[in-house]
Amino acid sequence: MRMKTRTLAVLWGLTLLAGPALAQTVEVGIREYKYEPAELKIRAGTTVKWTNNEKRTSHSVLFTGPGGFESERFFPGESWQHRFDSPGVYEYTCGPHPEMKGRIEVLR
């Protein structure tokens, strides 16, 4: 009985360690009114973090598809992030600067 309890405890501990290791964050920079990179392919469960690297301008991330939404504006040196749990294609732009375009493809 003692061996079985120890084995379960080890397996439970490994599960806890593996959980956060599987989570991933991908960075998108904003510079000169462009998302860099403008296109991403990521796995479901990945977080994308946009960082404003401009000198004076605020930006947002505006998802234009069904159920779309917009982030709050973030200023130079600030960032905003979103976790993508559902596979699909997510087109986005910047609310105040619609010429800025981005695309994220979320894979299973």
Q: What is the pLDDT of residue 22?
A: 62
Give the pTM. Answer: 0.79
Superfamily of domain 24-107: Cupredoxins -  blue copper proteins (2.60.40.420)
- Whether the CA torsion 13, 86, 24, 96 is positive or negative: it is negative
Hey, what are 2's tokens? 């003692």
DSSP designation for 72:
P
Reply yes or no on whether the pLDDT at 4 is more than 60. no
User: Using one digit for the tens of pLDDT, what is the confidence trace for 10-61?
Assistant: 333 433 344 444 679 999 999 999 999 999 999 999 999 999 999 999 999 9
Burial of 103 (0-12, 13-18, 19+ CB in 10 A): middle
